[in-house]
Copies of this chain bind each other. A is one copy, B any other.
């Protein structure tokens, strides 16, 4: 695509013409902050405080236990799934919202291996977000003979890992949390299937940032969080996708009563509910789920093609404007291989990120040397990208990051 003119005025003109610009008003953004870390924790949607207060004060406080029926609490995981399903290219009954990403990874990996009982290898990415690897290790340690095989990015290593024909499940991140690289879900799912393996996708860094087409790509299972590009709040309930063709046979092991076909019969024997619902276990934290509901409402009528186009425009702009800083670019330049983040590399990246935060520009750092900037098209403007990029160039070239107060310390998230 042609680069936009690089003046701040030109950026302001792009914002004026941006069809997604009105969505920014759906968020409560603090003054004086440019937020480039929505890929870690999304910003606060304006409707969340009121929706959560309503749940607490009216549904819980006044309705009390009656709200399980009267306020639709029991079906909330499915109601949220119906809102989320279009964002991942799924039917409503293929998705359920509940539990955390790690627990859902465990459930889906075990379910995939059970569908493929003669194959005992799980393929995962060496560079995956650690919890994916830890959960896969946890699964491997649980079952005799199950073992992990790690691969690097791209389809070639994956093909190699699949070749022996012993792989039951492939666990892949749609967008790499560190580099921002986007995998080809359709091609790699096909590759897995061609070798008799099932594909489990981790959508944490793609859902809400770009169109995800689980069904069209033939994915078998997927999990994802709702607190990054979906803006549902810290640690908000995650989701699970189970392709319709597996509903009859897929079985997850945390068989709690919320996944039962007839939970209020209080029978002694577990009988799985239809659809993805049987991937639920117990009660979901409804105070947090109310925030998910308000956050997902922001997406009504949002065209994901526009989100993707703006995401690429913003990351292109940031890459272009930060070129004078001279940092190594880690994120693929090719659009088809890029998520909605830009990762740059420098041995002193930690201090540089801290110096930017001091200026109110919030990105984050990933050890050992990655400066990571996320771009959320719903609330980020072109002028924000201009200002952030300009600040980064100043921080790096002016040596501001050498200030001792920016020296490395223990870090969270």
| Chain B residue contacts of A44, Cβ below 8 A | 56-57, 60-61
Within 8 A of B (CB), among A35-77: 35, 37, 40-41, 43-44, 48-49, 52-53, 56-57, 60-62, 64-69, 73-74
Interface centre among A74, A99, A141 (most CB of B within 10 A): A99
Report yes or no: A234 in contact with B286, Cβ–Cβ below 8 A.
Answer: yes
User: Is the C-beta of A103 less than 8 angstroms from some C-beta in chain B?
Assistant: yes
* Interface flags, A218-252, vs B, CB<8A=1, else 0: 00000001010000011111100000000000010
User: Complex Cα distance A254/B107, Å?
Assistant: 9
| Number of chain A interface residues as a range | 35 or more
Question: In chain B, what residue has the closest Cβ to A76?
Answer: B235
A73-B234, A130-B266, A364-B65 known; A257+B60 contact, CB < 8 A: no
Partner of A35, one of B64, B106, B141, B258: B64
Report yes or no: A30 in contact with B260, Cβ–Cβ below 8 A.
Answer: no
User: Is the C-beta of A5 less than 8 angstroms from some C-beta in chain B?
Assistant: no
| Chain B residue contacts of A137, Cβ below 8 A | 255, 269-270
Q: Which of the 9-residue segments A315-323, A336-344, A388-396, A405-413 touches chain B?
A: A405-413
User: Complex Cα distance A62/B40, Å?
Assistant: 15
User: Is the C-beta of A112 less than 8 angstroms from some C-beta in chain B?
Assistant: no
Question: In chain B, what residue has the closest Cβ to A141?
Answer: B253
Interface centre among A100, A133, A142, A266 (most CB of B within 10 A): A100
Report yes or no: B52 in contact with A64, Cβ–Cβ below 8 A.
Answer: no
Report yes or no: B138 in contact with A255, Cβ–Cβ below 8 A.
Answer: yes
Q: Which of the 9-residue segments A18-26, A276-284, A304-312 touches chain B?
A: A276-284
Q: Which of the 9-residue segments A165-173, A191-199, A287-295 touches chain B?
A: A287-295
Within 8 A of B (CB), among A58-98: 60-62, 64-69, 73-74
Give the Cβ gap from A289 to chain B, nearest Cβ, in Å: 7
Give the Cβ gap from A52 to chain B, nearest Cβ, in Å: 6
9 contacts between A and B (CB under 8 A): A48-B56, A66-B357, A66-B362, A99-B100, A100-B283, A101-B283, A102-B256, A235-B282, A235-B289
Closest 9 pairs between A and B when the two form their complex, measured CB to CB: A102-B256, A102-B282, A285-B288, A138-B255, A100-B282, A235-B283, A44-B61, A131-B257, A134-B270
